[in-house]
Homo-oligomer: A and B are copies of this chain.
Amino acid sequence: MEVVSLPPLVRVAVCGGTHGNELSGVYLVRERLKKKKKEEADTVSVMTVMSNPRAVQQCRRYTETDLNRCFTAATLSAPVSDRTPYEIVRSQELNTLLGPKGTDDAMDLICDLHNTTANMGLCLISYSDADWICLHIYKYLKSEMPAVPVRYIHYDVPLSEAYSMESVGKHGFAMEIGPQPHGVVRADIFNVMKEGVQLVLDWIHNFNSGVWFDGGEVEVYTMVKNIDYPRDAETRTITAAIHPQLQDHDFCLLHPGDPLFLTFSGKTETYKGVEPLYPFFVNESAYYEKGIALSLARRKKWLFHPFK
């Protein structure tokens, strides 16, 4: 049996406020910055980062451009001037602080905290479907948080084109929790995030302490495509909402012919795809401007080996 060994995760970053109106992460980061927990210092150094303080201050997703689309190799190396959007300047600062991306100096792991208006429970979102650290953390959260639906989403994008914050670390994921309106902090969602982050740090501590981890089977949702709202040909305004039968039903298999949209005049439009797929980010408010009504994923099982 093949057994792999991986170096300990010594430098870890917990980041919130990458989107300034996703408040669970904003208040969790504020709370952590106030407390400076001691117990984490044992085997790991945890840096807590407020990613986009200007957007947080305004309680908006971003001030000029979406920070969480700025971490591509191209944007991180783009020249800056006085007219460069704040978020591009900030992404380069964060790359210096937590990276540089793709180098030995980068953080061992970045956990970036997000909320969604979609009914997605707790999702770890990563650019790899074969990162054993991330998959093991996922497995640990799933077993330790039985009351919360925990899932793993994989975006199949090469590292240089990976656009979001966690791609700056050697390992990393976004922890996405919903449903919660942006600009709102709900105690239940906050507590799930707080527990999730603590479990991530617990797992890292165990890993660094030499605990043996069993292998096993996990389910991974790999993003296949996005679907936009029906729109008026001239004005580009949307002409339908997510169908009530799909609303709040993230990760419930969508079959060809299933209701997808309900137009504002009352007509149902169905899913025209040929393959049943799993919807997620269903009716995420920040994605209207990106032309995404929902995303669709293929689910696969992934067997992995024990390690340490």
A residues whose Cβ falls under 8 Å from a Cβ of B: 27-28, 30-31, 35, 59, 117, 179-188, 190-191, 237-238, 241-244, 247, 262, 264-265, 283, 285-286, 288-289
Contacts and interface: CB of A to CB of B under 8 A. Distances in A.
A59 B184 contact: no
Contacts of A182: 181-183, 285
Given A183-B286, A187-B243, A188-B244, 17 more contacts: A27-B238, A30-B264, A59-B289, A117-B181, A179-B181, A181-B181, A181-B285, A182-B183, A182-B285, A184-B283, A185-B238, A185-B241, A186-B283, A187-B241, A187-B244, A188-B247, A191-B244
A28 B241 CA distance: 12
A190 B238 CA distance: 14
Given A27-B264, A31-B265, A117 B184 contact: yes
Given A31-B264, A182-B181, A59 B288 contact: yes
Contacts of A237: 30
Contacts of A283: 184, 186
A289 B185 CA distance: 13
* A interface SS class: loop
* Number of copies of this kind of chain in the complex: 2
A158 B132 CA distance: 65
- 7 nearest CB pairs, A to B: A181-B181, A183-B285, A187-B241, A184-B285, A187-B262, A117-B181, A31-B264
A289 B60 CA distance: 13
A114 to B, nearest CB: 15
A215 to B, nearest CB: 35
Residue of A31, A35, A191, A241 with most chain B CB atoms under a 10 A cut-off: A241
A5 to B, nearest CB: 38
Contacts of A242: 186-187
Contacts of A286: 183
A237 B27 CA distance: 9
Contacts of A31: 264-265
Contacts of A28: 264
A19 to B, nearest CB: 12
Contacts of A59: 288-289
A143 to B, nearest CB: 23
Residue of A27, A179, A183, A283 with most chain B CB atoms under a 10 A cut-off: A183
A247 B30 contact: no
A302 B153 CA distance: 54
A71 B34 CA distance: 42
Nearest to A184: B285
Contacts of A288: 59, 183
A242 B186 CA distance: 7
Contacts of A183: 117, 182, 285-286, 288
A31 B285 CA distance: 20
Nearest to A61: B183
B241 A190 contact: yes
